[in-house]
């Protein structure tokens, strides 16, 4: 029904009833009685309406949908509509609060920084990542000009020039940041910051790796090309020299081959397309192979022994063989003839451990943290002399990462080293 009719029909009916009652009193007890009844009924009506008004006013002081008073007559409709409005309002407010909480949480977790500024760069709000990146504290810096908070000349120039379509790379507080300002609404701007320190470091590592690898390949190639030139310009070279040149060229060829094999192994170990396929590994057999290889490399010049007591593990037998063999070959290569190398596989309370102990040249403490970097060598010429590629420990590190194992190195210059591979407890 039309809401107006809904209001007026019962009100008129009530008035008619009131007039009927007054008329009845008039006809039964005379005009004074009729008028008195009419006045009393009217007074009662007015008091009733006033009491509803009072209840409505109380409710408006503390509006809560659950406490809305019940009404009578037209008030029923007014109260029920108010109740519906209030309930809808409460629902949308709850939704809004939930959205706001979700938005706040998302902004909190965002690794990128977001700061909202007005048109004259006064800070209105920022998330924790922006606080970290730019060194801000929202509670302290809110309402301050961002150019007074981030006092980097490149940042000031960026704002002065206003070329916001391009991001700015900023070195700030030992981090590399990519910063961009995005104007939004009419009078606001968002400042977005992205921490690119890690990707810059990876990019630098990639550049270093290419430079190092090219350098490592160029050296043997130069030797080979040199001898080839001698061979072509001196056709009547004596047989002994020719033999010596061929021997050196073959050695350099092998060196390039080892280098390329190690680079391929490393790139395979790092590749996501080459996940570890775990299988039970008979560690005893693996270490026996490694022992045999180490003895062949030593050519009987070292005392090499092995004690194998630990359990079998789950992983890749080939990868573990290559990691253990790298450690054993290093021990042989960096230990003078007459020294000793011991391989050991044992079960410890923290998990099984493979260790290689030698009585070799040892390593100064300052090099130890960097040994697993690609091409890092304590002594470049010694590594080359012993046919090292500089990639052995980097390969070991990657194999261990894939097996959730870790490497610890203890060494004393002049006394020897122990490289220990620690597997997690099963
Ligand atoms: P390389 O092919 O040069 O041996 P690695 O990555 O295997 O490369 O080792 C990196 C460097 O760590 C070596 O160049 C050497 O200086 C040092 N190193 C590794 N193992 C030993 C060891 N057992 N004793 C002394 N120095 C070692």
How remote is the CA of residue 299 from the centroid of ligand 1, in Å?
Answer: 19
- Lining residues, ligand 1, CB within 6 Å: 326, 330-331, 334, 358, 360-361, 363, 371, 376-379, 383, 388-394, 417
How remote is the CA of residue 382 from the centroid of ligand 1, in Å?
Answer: 9
* Position in ligand 1 atom list of the atom nearest CA 388: 2
* Position in ligand 1 atom list of the atom nearest CA 383: 3
Name the closest-CA residue to atom 23, ligand 1.
331
pLDDT level of residue 64 (50, 70, 90 thresholds): low
Task: Rank 69-83, 295-309, 375-389 by mean pLDDT and report only the highest.
Answer: 295-309
Nearest-angstrom CA–CA distance, 401 and 419: 16
The pLDDT, as a whole number, for residue 306 is 97
How remote is the CA of residue 285 from the centroid of ligand 1, in Å?
Answer: 25
pTM value is: 0.68
Q: How many helices (H) and strands (E) does the chain have?
A: 14, 12
**Which domains does the chain carry?**
3-92 (no CATH), 110-195 (3.30.450.20), 202-270 (1.10.287.130), 279-422 (3.30.565.10)
Query: In the predicted model, what is the mean pLDDT of the chain?
Result: 91
Q: Which residues contact 100 (CB under 8 A, 6 or more apart)?
A: none
pLDDT level of residue 37 (50, 70, 90 thresholds): confident
Average pLDDT over residues 106-125: 94
Instruction: Indicate if the pLDDT at residue 236 is higher than 80.
Output: yes
Classify residue 123 as exposed, middle or buried by CB count within 10 Å of its CB (0-12, 13-18, 19+). Answer: buried
Residue 217: its H or E element: helix 197-233
Tens of pLDDT, residues 356-388: 999 999 999 999 999 999 999 998 877 777 788
Nearest-angstrom CA–CA distance, 76 and 53: 12
Question: Candidates 209, 324, 376, 388: which one to mutate for ligand 1, based on the most atoms within 8 Å of Cβ?
Answer: 388
Pair 194, 177: CB distance under 8 Å: yes
The pLDDT, as a whole number, for residue 274 is 85
């Amino acid at each position: 029904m039309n809401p107006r009719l809904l209001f007026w029909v019962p009100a008129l009916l009530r008035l008619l009833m009131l007039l009927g009652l007054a008329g009845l009193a008039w006809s039964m007890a005379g005009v004074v009685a009729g008028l008195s009844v009419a006045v009393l009924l009217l007074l009662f009506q007015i008091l009733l309406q006033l009491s509803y008004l009072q209840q409505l006013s109380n409710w408006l002081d503390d509006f809560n949908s659950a406490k809305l008073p019940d009404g009578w007559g037209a008030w029923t409709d007014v109260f029920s509509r108010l109740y519906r409005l209030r309930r809808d309002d409460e629902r949308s407010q709850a939704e809004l609060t939930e959205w706001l909480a979700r938005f706040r949480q998302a902004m909190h977790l965002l690794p990128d920084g977001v700061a909202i500024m007005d048109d004259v760069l006064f800070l209105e709000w920022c998330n924790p990542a922006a606080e970290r990146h730019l060194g801000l504290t929202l509670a302290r810096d809110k309402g301050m000009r961002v150019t007074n908070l981030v006092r980097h000349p490149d940042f000031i120039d960026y704002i002065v020039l206003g070329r916001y379509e391009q991001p700015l790379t900023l070195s700030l507080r030992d981090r590399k940041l990519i910063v961009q300002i995005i104007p939004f609404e009419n009078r606001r701007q968002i400042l977005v910051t992205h921490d690119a320190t890690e990707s810059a470091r990876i990019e630098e590592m990639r550049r270093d790796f290419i430079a190092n690898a090219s350098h490592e390949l160029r050296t043997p190639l130069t030797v080979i090309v040199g001898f080839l030139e001698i061979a072509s310009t001196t056709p009547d070279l004596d047989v002994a020299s020719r033999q010596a040149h061929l021997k050196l060229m073959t050695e350099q060829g092998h060196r390039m081959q080892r280098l390329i094999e190690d680079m391929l192994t490393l790139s395979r170990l790092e590749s996501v397309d080459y996940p570890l396929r775990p299988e039970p590994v008979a560690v005893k057999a693996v270490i026996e192979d490694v022992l045999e290889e180490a003895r062949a490399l030593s050519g009987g010049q070292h005392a090499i022994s092995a004690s194998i007591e630990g359990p079998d593990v789950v992983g890749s037998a080939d990868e573990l063989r290559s990691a253990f063999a790298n450690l054993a070959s290093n021990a042989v290569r960096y230990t003078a003839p007459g020294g000793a190398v011991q391989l050991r596989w044992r079960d410890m309370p923290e998990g099984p451990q493979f260790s290689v102990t030698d009585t070799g040249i040892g390593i100064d403490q300052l090099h130890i943290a960097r040994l697993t970097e690609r091409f890092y060598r304590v002594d470049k010429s010694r590594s080359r002399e012993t046919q090292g590629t500089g990639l052995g420990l980097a390969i070991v590190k990657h194999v261990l990462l894939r097996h959730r194992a870790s490497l610890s190195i203890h060494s004393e210059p002049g006394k020897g080293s122990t490289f220990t591979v620690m597997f997690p407890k099963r």
